[in-house]
Amino acid sequence: MTDPGDREAGGACTNHGPVPLLNEQIAERLRAGGLDPAPVSALVAAALAEDLAGGADVTTAATVPAGARGQADVVARGAGVVAGLPVAEAAFWLASPDGQVECTPHASDGEPVAPGQSVLTVIGPVGALLTAERTALNLLCHLSGVATLTRQWADAIAGTQARIRDTRKTTPGLRALEKYAVRCGGGVNHRMALSDAALIKDNHVAAAGSVSAAFAAVRAQAPGLPLEVECDTLEQVAEALAAGADLILLDNFAIADMSAAVALAAGRALLEASGGLTLSRASAVAATGVDYLAVGALTHSAPALDFGLDLRPPG
């Protein structure tokens, strides 16, 4: 059974101002990952503006000769999975006042990287490279951390039918990028927004009076929308199945109850385990036969994967 709620490509945030233009090579690398270059460009431009706060990079302006051009390498300081290279490229490109920056990636998003490995070479005005350094690295380190943690979860359930899926527990403004990083790590996306799929949770059930009443209300208002029902008990699972649910979230179920829910569903609905999941018990959860493990930690608790920018000496 295919879940229409799966999201394999990132959504786009809205932008109401002028969008800084990226060169076509960077824009195409973003599109290849399912990202819209316009909102990514706007987000990166805002991050650069935040760092400058309406002023100048005083340290760089004092130490870098005017007109100096140079070359720098973005180098992994730890082992993991890289994600966000074209986003980092966008930061260097937008920081250059004339766009005269050349970016050469040496890895692709989703690939493993080792300490000391150069993943990106950037040639351009030294002042622009140093001004963009922190913005580029902040985004690259965070997104690579999300991809690295996702890969750990995906590896933990390898050999089962289950897949690792993210949640809406994302950093405000970074959802499309964080969900992209999840895909780079081997996970799949849940809904991008409240409007593109419905998820009936305990508070909706309380408001409607029952699982079946909440299900009927959503189906009546949005008949074609993907609809998932959160259940706290096996009795609620049976009620959701009777209502016609084709996707059920098992909230904080014990392993034995997950297995019972799988037997109860008997293929009539996809099942997603959620709540209290840990990497150490991911394999056992997946072995029950559930289809997804929903892991909010992928985006809200991923440690950054460290990268640095090494400016090559002139000459």
Q: For residues 215 and 244, what is the distance between their CA atoms, to the nearest angstrom? A: 9
A 10 A CB-CB count for 221 gives 9
Among the options 77, 168, 201, 219, which is catalytic? 201
> Which of 169, 26, 165 shows the shortest CA–CA distance to 84?
26
Strand 118-125 to strand 102-105: parallel, antiparallel, or no bridges (unpaired)? antiparallel
Q: For residues 52 and 46, what is the distance between their CA atoms, to the nearest angstrom? A: 10
Which residues, 6 or more positions from 38, have their beta carbon under 8 angstroms from its beta carbon? 12, 15, 19
Q: In the annotation, is 134 catalytic?
A: yes
Task: Write the CA distances from 2 to 74, 94, 288, integer angstroms.
Answer: 40, 40, 19
Q: In the annotation, is 251 catalytic?
A: yes
**Which residue has 């799988």 as its token pair?**
262
Please report, for the chain, how many H helices and E strands are present, in that order: 12, 12
Among the options 230, 246, 272, 291, which is catalytic? 230
Among the options 239, 246, 251, 272, which is catalytic? 251
Among the options 102, 169, 219, 232, which is catalytic? 169
Q: In the annotation, is 219 catalytic?
A: no
Among the options 31, 69, 77, 134, which is catalytic? 134
Q: In the annotation, is 8 catalytic?
A: no
Which positions are catalytic? Answer: 134, 169, 201, 230, 251
